[in-house]
Structure 1
Amino acid sequence: MWHTHESKMHSYKKRRRLKEIHFQPQICACEILGTNSDAQNTCAGIEKIMHKKDRIRARGERMRSKKIYRRVLILLLIFNIIGMVLFIYFKIIKKVPDEIKILVGKEESFDFNMPIKANIVTEDIGVISVNDLKVPDNQISIDMKKPFTLGSTKTGKYNINLKLFGLFNFKNISLDVIENIELIPCGIPIGIYVETDGILVLGSGRITGEDGLNYEPINNKLKSGDYILEINGVKVKDKEDVIEEIQNSNGDDIKLLVRRNKEKITVRVTPVKATDGKYKIGAWIRDDTQGIGTLTFTSTKGDFGALGHGITDIDTGLLMDISEGSVYDADIMSIIRGKEGEPGELIGMIRQSKKYKIGRIDQNTLQGIFGTIDNNYNWLLKQEPLDIGLKQEVQKGPAKILCTIQDKVEEFDIQIESIDISNSNHSKGIVIRITDERLLDMTGGIVQGMSGSP
């Protein structure tokens, strides 16, 4: 009985130890089962199963790693393709202008070196020539990867459709064929005076009322860059008109007709009686501006262009809407030399009288101011004119500018360093560097007031 009991106990312990092997596979089975033949076979089988599971697990991990690797490669490829397309897109945008001008009867050369096919659509057969060859077709194809020339025997506007790689519609540009224009380069200093078309709102401020509280009547009603045209149906021409209409309200709501981004809107504002007893709406306003610039050119037809950039408000930085303006003769009194961080300035005196009025300003644009020369200054139209140069004809290298520094117009040496024939910046088509030592000694470079020097 004892032996039987002992044998059963031994079998029970053996089974228990086998269960431990199942739950603890990291322990060597041979150490638990002993060294007899059955134990060794069991041990070998268990280890074989364990190795097989390890191989399956390792294979699964390798497959997962390969999947992740492939996905990463695919994502990188997609990003590279997107990056390449965007690079080509922005390069073309920068290099290809929205508009090309050519002179009637003259061949103009172009070399864009871009993977683009251009189709010029025209109903005038034989009017457009490519590479000096007449193309009798209503749709002319050009490979912009190679240099080419364009010409036309007739003025007018034509549409050019661009296809990237010859497949994808990319953009349309305008081909403008114009008559030759002769201009007279000037470079003389001028005084500029303009009146705004409406009363320009610069910003808002707080008002301390008679009750000691602070008010902002135009907050969330008027914005910087708005133009006040009327108050209670009365047209306002200057700041004094605005002040008068506000006082006439006696604190009642006033109705403002405002131009905002070319759109007219109506705004209601309640004036506040301030500590000085006057009614106010808390608006900083401007109705005119003036400054010194340079006359760029006149034409034989009596027109002029000046400044080289638009007249913007000094506080808002916005191009000003003008109702009228004039340019006057001006004298340069002194020069503040430019230095790093400070642009410098020409200090002048504007001869603001009818006798010294050079002309009337008709347009204020991003490219400059344009207008008509008065009869008093017809002598500006009698100098030797030059043919205009189109932007595709400008080349890097040495050049000259005309400007007045010491009571007379002089030529100074410059270097054209880069050219942008696109329309990305309407007032900055080239980058120049002053190389004339005499001009550098006097001004330190280009200073305020020289804007518009031809």
Structure 2
Amino acid sequence: MGGLNRRGWCGLILATLIVLTTLTPQFRSAVAFPEAIKLPVGECHSLRLNLPFPAAVRLRQGSGLKLNNRWLTGQPASISLSGPLTLESARPGRTEMEFLLFGIPWKRVVVNTKVPERIVPGGHSIGVLLTSQGIIVVGYDNLSASPGRPRSPARDAGITTGDLLLEADGKALVTITDLAQAVEQAGREGRSVRIKLRRGADTHLVEVDPLPSPGNHYRIGLYVRDGANGVGTLSFYDPLTGYYGALGHVITDPDTGTPLPIREGSIVKALISSITAGVRGHPGEKIGVFQPEENTWGDISANTEFGIFGQLNMPLRNPYFKEPIPVALAGEVHPGPAEMYTVLERDRVERFQIEIERVLNRETPSDKGLVLCITDPTLLRKSGGIVQGMSGSPIIQDGKLAGIVTHVFVNDPSHGFGVLAEWMVEKSKRLAEGTVFVPSFIADLSADVFAN
């Protein structure tokens, strides 16, 4: 009995020690020690473990990696984990190092080194004009088939909100007028209209019986949309590919909330005429006037989770940056002061002070990768914080493009989310792959287009 008690007490003491150890900052730091690090060529990256243990590190794969200003080799080199560790790489590529505690292998860390991308930051207000790939169903309209019996033939046929209508009687639907003409013709001929639609990844064929309406016209009881437009902010321009990125988040249909599949689109100049300030529970917005007569600035080739992308017709010029600047890797973005660039009046890009409060996820791409707070008194006075139309505003930290504004907190307009710039620029690079781009202006960053 006594032996069992002693074993029980020993187990309890051991369990208590384990629990107390896991609560220490040193243990949490060791668990959080990264297994992969992205490192810009020629720049330093600091790590801090605060572990009071003897340790060593050696190179398992690759070369050209420095730790605390010493080149790593395959032979273990003694280090102290109680102070900061400084990593630096001399060339791009993949390197793997291994840490040892008490001579026992503890953790392997992969270091991926790359030459930082360099882009021209945006901040310019743009008008976004999109035409969808088909006609989007946004609601139903009840028609009177007979007195007291309203119905929607489209709903009866199984068409639902969010469906994308692609064809009517074998003809492609590009505009709302195309659908109206097909319905009218079928109604006058006394037959059903055959509609091909897309729902998610599936395609369906349905037959709808048009009903006569006042004015001797035929309808099928649908509210539809064939595109979208609005004001946003240009995020960056890549002088090597001619591609731009804007908005930082996907464009969705305002009624259905589903991503808008685009057939074609363009961006044009937008002059901001006024600002409706945001207040708790009611996001504000920029009121802009499109300037299509000044030529289309660029096309829209993709509507993605990180915004819209396409090619500019002319290079971007930003009054604050004479040369392209580096894009911060996700691991470089940190809580602290930063700057946001956006337009509040006409087409003048301005700089405002913000604070990056948290970096939410450096490993998994997301349009909510960081939390930011507006601290600039002028911006807070004029707009109340982040308003609709600021999506896409670039965030600069430590001289690098760190993030892009994407969303506002509805209950606190002074706060919002941003996407880490690395993810958005990488998306732009992937979209630009295979694009033939040999413009005469590729190195001419002094052009007057986008000048303020």
TM range (shorter): 0.5 to 0.7
Q: Residue in 2 aligned with 1:190?
A: 126
Structure 2 runs not aligned, ≥5 long: 1-14, 23-27, 51-59, 75-80, 97-109, 395-452
For the 8 Å contact 2:235–2:392, the answer to whether it is kept is yes
Aligned to 2:258: 318
Deviation at 1:280, TM superposition (A): 2.1
Matches within 5 A, 1:277-296: 277-296=216-235
SS of equivalent residue, structure 1 residue 195: strand
Correspondent of 1:229 among 161, 166, 172: 166
Q: What amino acid is the match of 2:127?
A: G
Q: Indicate whether 1:267 and 2:211 are aligned.
A: no
Counterpart CA distance in 2 for 1:242 and 1:339 is: 41
Q: Separation in 2 of the partners of 1:181 and 1:239? A: 43
Note if contact 1:298-1:380 (Cα within 8 Å) is conserved in structure 2. no
Q: Is the 8 A contact 1:130 1:149 kept in 2?
A: yes
Q: What is the one-letter code of the residue matched to 1:230?
A: E
* 1:203 corresponds to 2:142: no
Give, in whole Å, the separation in 1 of the partners of 2:245 and 2:87: 30
Structure 1 residues 379 and 221 mapped into 2: Cα distance closer, same or farther (>3 Å)? same
Paired letter, 2:335: K
Contact persistence 1:104–1:177 (CA under 8 A)? yes
Q: Which residue of 1 aligns with 2:324?
A: 385
Matched with 1:452 is 392
- For the structure 1 residues 305 and 419, does the alpha-carbon distance in structure 2 shift closer, same or farther, using more than 3 Å as the test? same
Is the CA contact 2:134–2:173 (under 8 Å) kept in the aligned structure 1?
yes
CA distance in 1, matches of 2:203, 2:182: 19
Measure, in 1, the Cα distance between the counterparts of 2:308 and 2:33: 26
1:307 matched to which residue of 2? 247
Change beyond 3 A, Cα 1:420–1:150: farther
After TM superposition, give the deviation of residue 231 of structure 1 in Å: 1.5
Check 1:178–1:201 CA distance in 2 against 1; reply closer, same or farther (3 A cut).
Answer: farther
Contact 1:126 1:134 in 2 (8 A): no
Do the aligned partners of residues 151 and 236 (structure 1) sit closer, same or farther apart at CA in structure 2, a change above 3 Å counting? farther
- 8 Å CA contact retained: 1:269, 1:281: no
Q: Distance in 1 between matches of 2:271 and 2:231?
A: 9
Query: Whole-Å Cα distance in 2 between the matches of residues 439 and 404 of structure 1?
Result: 10
**Structure 1 residue 392 displacement after superposition:** 1.1
What residue is the counterpart of 1:347 in the other structure?
287
Shift of 1:389: 0.5
**TM-score normalised to structure 2 length:** 0.63
Kindly state the Cα deviation for residue 400 of structure 1 after the two structures are TM-superposed: 1.0
Residues 318-365 of structure 1 show CA distances to partners (whole Å, capped at 9, x for unaligned) of 211111111111111111111111111111101123x33211111111
Q: Tell me the CA shift for residue 239 of structure 1.
A: 0.7
Q: Using the TM superposition, give the Cα deviation of residue 151 of structure 1 relative to its aligned residue in structure 2, in angstroms.
A: 5.9
TM-superposed CA distance for 1:130, in Å, is 9.1
Which of residues 368, 373, 377 is equivalent to 1:433?
Answer: 373
Distance 1:155 1:361, change over 3 A: farther
Greater CA deviation, 410-419 or 251-260? 251-260
State the distance in 2 between where 1:284 and 1:97 align.
51
Distance 1:323 1:97 in 2: 42
Q: Which whole-Å deviations, capped at 9, do the CAs of 1:69-111 have from their partners, x for residues lacking one?
A: xxxxxxxx9xxx9xx9xxxxxx9xxx89999755467665667
Q: Distance in 2 between matches of 1:406 and 1:233?
A: 48
Aligned equivalents of 1:272, 1:98: Cα separation in 2:
62
Cα shift at 1:155:
5.6
Question: Which residue is 1:252 aligned to?
Answer: 191
**Larger Rg: 1 or 2?**
1
Bigger proportion of residues as strand: 2
The structure with more helix, counted as a fraction of residues = 1
Equivalent position amino acid for 1:287 in 2: D
Q: Is contact 2:120-2:316 (8 Å) kept?
A: no
Pairwise mapping of residues 14-413 of structure 1 onto structure 2 (< 5 A)?
Answer: 102-103=39-40, 126=62, 153=91, 179-209=115-145, 213-219=149-155, 221-250=158-187, 251-261=190-200, 263-276=201-214, 277-301=216-240, 302-353=242-293, 355-375=294-314, 379=317, 383-407=322-346, 408-413=348-353
Identical residues among aligned pairs (%): 32
CA contact (8 A) 2:196 2:206 kept: no
> 3-state SS of the aligned residue for 1:225?
coil
Q: Cα RMSD between the aligned structures?
A: 3.9
Distance in 2 of aligned mates of 1:346 and 1:308: 17
Letter in 2 for 1:245: A
How much has 1:267 moved relative to structure 2? 2.5
Whole-angstrom CA distance in 2 between matches of 1:387 and 1:446: 25
Structure 1 pair 134–175 and aligned structure 2 pair: CA distance change class (3 A): closer
Contact kept? 1:128, 1:135, Cα under 8 Å: no
Distance 1:97 1:326, change over 3 A: farther
Q: Structure 1: which 5+ runs fail to align?
A: 1-76, 85-90, 114-123, 137-142, 160-173
Q: 1:147 to 1:196 in 2, by over 3 A?
A: farther
Following superposition, the deviation at residue 149 of structure 1 comes to: 5.5
Q: Conserved in 2, the CA contact under 8 Å of 1:102 and 1:390?
A: yes
Q: 2: CA distance between counterparts of 1:378 and 1:296?
A: 11
Equivalent pair of 1:104/1:155 in contact (CA under 8 Å): no
Single out whichever of 127-136 and 192-201 deviates more from structure 2: 127-136
